[in-house]
Amino acid sequence: MKTYIYIPLLIIVLLSSCIKDNKSLKLLKVTEYSSSKVTDTSLARILYKNNDLKINVTYTLSEDEALKQLENKKVDLVIIPNNAKKGENDFRTLVPLLPRVLMIITNKKVNTMSVKDLFEKGNIYFEDRSRLDSIVFRKLYYNFDIDESKIHSNLAKKLNINEKSKNLEVYVGLTHVNNLKVKKLTNSDWYFFSLDNIDNYRKGSKIEGFTLMNASGYPFIIPMSVYKGKPKKSILTYAINDVLICRSDLDDDLAYGITQTIIENKSHLSEMNPVYNLLNFDYDSQVLSFPKHKGTKQFLNRDEPPIWFKYVKMVWPLISISVVVFGIFASLRQRLKRRKKQNIEEYYNSLLEIRDNAESAEDADSLIAILRKLKKLRSHAMKSLADKKLDPGESFNIFLALFNDTKTDLIDSLRELRLKNQENKA
């Protein structure tokens, strides 16, 4: 009789062991002072619905504090800008998320003003004073020759939008597109400022030069009319993605599931909040500060073997022929690339020779002759590009950037020489 008493207890134990417990993770997000928080509950709902994964979301203003809590295992996941430095910590990337866009908005139309003059002559109101933002802005100052000591700055929370000012007021924020302050500014008579002419994009624009120095981000275009009819024309600026990171010891299957759920549910996230249309899961196009988690790699490489793998004996001759053809093609392509590289190096050398001649020029006629030679060199380069003798890649964009710098230096030298001659005559 006593044996039968334990049978119900055994059944209860077996049933309880079959019940799958919901996992629970703590997510800490680094956010800005006055930004409206992206509906992070959308991410939590998607992960719960598809993975039975409960996400408890909290916020901090300090990226250092976020990384410290992740390292000390007080949280499991962190959303942080991609330019955070790895240091000695063993953190891993799961998914790139929404961009933080460099927003520059002014109370006056200043389309013809340079970035340097804008920062040095206006009253600047920064959205944030975080360490990661400071890294970006220091590089911005260097790239655009901005004298930081001439910047009159305050925090954006001190900016009174409704107060009409005769002075040039400038809002600057590396922030999410749904920032409340940005939305309020666009509802008032404020104007977006573009870091360069949109027509220069992919042609060696200033922002592309800046990106070379700050590779954790990328050029970003704010399209026309996304903020109730503003901006009136497309704006070329810069953005850094938020990334979802974790410790490397996060379970591989769990990392796989989180990555899969977020990537495969972009459309559902966009339905919950249109801002998620900006999600970009092209890992190869982004320079990640933290390497991909093993589980993430497994998901990205999840494709099963091709059909021919099952019938390899039948198609082996075709494979052998394909390998030979591919080898020949790769060899020809490599040879063509070397030839194009040699061509662009010839233009680099000619450009350096022109710069050397310009430094030794002592009169206006010499400078004018050098300037004509410079323009002729650019014409030859553009013709070679049109004839497909040059590769329209980063090497050519760098050549264009060097050309523009050399041209500007020559014109400035010519102007100074003429002014000096006029003063001597006087």
Could you confirm whether domain 21-95+245-300 is CATH 3.40.190.10?
yes
Q: What share of the chain is helix, strand, coil (3-state, %, to 5)?
A: 55, 20, 30
Distance CA 84, CA 132 (A): 7
CA 296, CA 93: separation in Å to the nearest integer?
8
What SS3 state is found at 361?
Answer: coil
How many Cα atoms are found within 13 Å in the side-chain-facing hemisphere of 153?
Answer: 17
99, 239 Cβ separation under 8 angstroms = yes
Among the four given CATH numbers 3.30.559.10, 3.40.50.300, 3.40.190.10, 3.30.420.40, the one describing domain 100-242? 3.40.190.10
Q: Are 154 and 80 in contact (CB under 8 A)?
A: no
Q: Where are the domains of the chain?
A: 21-95+245-300, 100-242, 311-425
Alpha-carbon radius of gyration of the chain: 28
Which residue type, as a one-letter code, is found at position 377?
A: L
Q: Note down pLDDT in tens along the chain; length 426 residues.
A: 455 555 555 555 454 444 445 589 999 998 865 444 566 888 889 999 888 889 999 988 888 899 999 999 999 999 999 988 877 788 999 999 999 999 999 999 998 899 999 999 999 999 887 888 888 899 999 999 999 999 999 998 889 888 888 899 999 999 988 888 898 898 888 999 999 999 999 998 999 998 888 888 899 999 998 888 899 999 999 999 999 999 999 999 999 999 999 999 999 999 988 889 999 898 877 789 899 999 999 999 987 555 555 555 556 666 677 776 777 676 666 655 555 555 777 777 887 888 778 777 778 888 888 888 888 888 887 777 777 666 667 677 777 777 888 888 788 887 887 887 777 776
The tokens for 147 are 């004298």
Other beta carbons within 10 Å of 332: 10
> Are 21-95+245-300 and 100-242 the same fold in CATH?
yes
**What phi and psi values does residue 191 have, to the nearest 5 degrees?**
-130, 140
